[in-house]
Structure 1
């Protein structure tokens, strides 16, 4: 799979959608903990960009409550179908969309959650700018994975390279130039979490 080609990414995840949740059955607590760090409040709006099968959506809904709004956007319709089959469409509005071209108004969400997504974007800076476009000033962004980069590389048999967009020296200026300020960076064995805040224009 080419990480920077949307068609290749869509094909990769489409072939794995039906077994995705059974392949990674123990990730839910890690997703819930990452969502909790966004500090969402009742009545707020949250976007799960690249939501996949929607594992974060119930936690996002619980955080914003019945009066809040949750949108799950994903490039791969097969993943969205699995999310709906699991009942996660009751937690969020599911939308087929590329992360770099979101069908949302400017300044319309209070938080963006993106799990395992940023390194799949064909242009990470453009994707982060699009997240900034739909985010209100002061909104929070969580870039997350239930494994840290080194642990994930060991599991999948590849070597980390210095140009990895998820590495802090690369990510921090990328976020700054895209309208975000990095506030937390945690790349341990058991998770990857970068939290950022939307800066004022």
Structure 2
């Protein structure tokens, strides 16, 4: 585990129990996080019986929606590095009675994917991981041809002046990040590894959904 990863684990262990509540505060500044997640999930184009991986599942917000998409014959796997976040996800899964959902504590850079993966989604997680390109590459290796890699995350809009980048620090810090992360572009490996790709933006360009279709092997 890298030093950065260890720091993230420590941050999210402290935040796990109140993570959902504090994240909802983003609505106060006009963000519609659940709407963005619904948009991202739609891009997976999942069908009943599919297998999908939620990469960096956190407290499991996506898991009921993914379970609904793949149905009782499908499979949903939530992967996260932080044990405390997975405890919250496990509670959510148990309360919802989602028998097709399993949770794995693991590092996404080394996670061993199952066979026949039809979709992988990462919501607001890859920018926090320095080795995001490796994660995307390994995901493409695991995806069935035509399966989709979907990343929902933040980026710096083109119109934001460089001199104001330091002002973003207080907004990024509670999520374990810093302003250097604006230089990370997870959408680029999604596009580079895809047979076909597209990009959707929301919230004035601050939020994006990158969609890549896995090529033939």
Which TM-score tier does this pair reach, normalised by the shorter chain?
0.7 to 0.9
Runs (4+) of structure 1 moved beyond 6 Å?
Answer: none
Residues 148/49 of structure 1: CA separation in 2 closer, same or farther (3 Å cut)? same
Q: Which residue of 2 aligns with 1:197?
A: 213
Question: Which deviates more, 67-76 or 79-88?
Answer: 79-88
The separation in 2 between residues aligned to 1:38 and 1:164, in whole angstroms, is 23
Do residues 99 (structure 1) and 108 (structure 2) align? Answer: yes
Q: 2:199 aligns with which of 156, 180, 185?
A: 185
Deviation at 1:75, TM superposition (A): 0.5
Q: Any unmatched runs of 5+ in structure 1?
A: none
The SS at the match of 2:61 is coil
Q: What is the total number of aligned residue pairs between the two structures?
A: 191
Q: For 1:33-182, what aligned pairs fall within 5 Å after superposition?
A: 33-87=39-93, 90-91=97-98, 92-105=101-114, 107-145=115-153, 149-150=156-157, 154=168, 156=171, 163-166=183-186, 171-172=187-188, 174-175=189-190, 177=192, 179-181=193-195
Considering only CA atoms, is the larger Rg found in Structure 1 or Structure 2? 2
Do residues 20 (structure 1) and 36 (structure 2) align? Answer: no
TM-score between both structures, scaled by the size of structure 2? 0.76
Deviation at 1:189, TM superposition (A): 1.1
TM-score between both structures, scaled by the size of structure 1? 0.81
Residues 83/200 of structure 1: CA separation in 2 closer, same or farther (3 Å cut)? same
